[in-house]
Copies of this chain bind each other. A is one copy, B any other.
């Protein structure tokens, strides 16, 4: 693995957003010194960590000069700029726009619905949002609809979410599928386009990152 900026450190741990960054780095063939943040021990809510990210969330990238970058996609964008090949945010104006569009659509529609279930039903997130378990249940029944929407959108037979190339949108959608399984939410097996795409993504070595 090629190192980039060995004086930087990546605070990460369990959970979908750290996983997104790990897959992204594996696809790039890069790595960074890591600091494990134990969410189960509440280390992300410790005074020292809150000085790094006031939102108490991981992952966070701290550069050698002390610059702090939070938000998984922002960390990935920094790595893309520093290490452009292979491009995972698209190459050229149209591809870049398509990746931005699809990464957001997957985040807002699929990941967001799964997130609503988790945030409103899991004890772990009780400080994050005012919890309404009935909303979690309503969104739970919506999760298969969101996958069905994605399946219809992929009916043109394209191999990846944003087109004919692998991108961060595939990472986001793949991690959404992982999260969906983790919370035992429904992803209908009958959705062939999504099933074939997911098989393709899960076959990549980066999936084990």
* A69 x B97 contact (CB < 8 A): yes
Report the Cα distance A152→B53, complex, angstroms.
12
- 18 inter-chain pairs at a CB distance below 8 angstroms, sorted by A residue, are A63-B94, A67-B94, A70-B101, A71-B100, A71-B101, A71-B104, A74-B97, A75-B97, A77-B96, A77-B97, A78-B94, A78-B97, A81-B93, A81-B97, A130-B139, A130-B142, A132-B132, A132-B134
Q: What residues of chain B lie closer than 8 Å to A54, measured between beta carbons? A: 149, 152-153
Q: What residues of chain B lie closer than 8 Å to A41, measured between beta carbons? A: none
Point out the residue from B74, B78, B105, B130 that lies within 8 Å of A70, measured CB to CB. B105
* A93 x B104 contact (CB < 8 A): no
Q: What residues of chain B lie closer than 8 Å to A149, measured between beta carbons? A: 54
Copies of this chain, count: 2
Residue of B nearest to A152 (CB): B54
* A96 x B71 contact (CB < 8 A): no
Q: What residues of chain B lie closer than 8 Å to A74, measured between beta carbons? A: 97-98, 100-101, 104
Q: What residues of chain B lie closer than 8 Å to A78, measured between beta carbons? A: 93-94, 96-97
Binding site secondary structure of chain A:
helix
Q: Which of A30-68 contact B (CB under 8 A)?
A: 54-55, 61, 63, 67
Report the Cα distance A67→B104, complex, angstroms.
17
A24 to chain B, nearest CB (A): 13
Known: A54-B153, A96-B81. A69 touches B101 (CB 8 A): yes
Q: Which of A133-147 contact B (CB under 8 A)?
A: 134-135, 138-139, 142
Q: What residues of chain B lie closer than 8 Å to A134, measured between beta carbons? A: 132
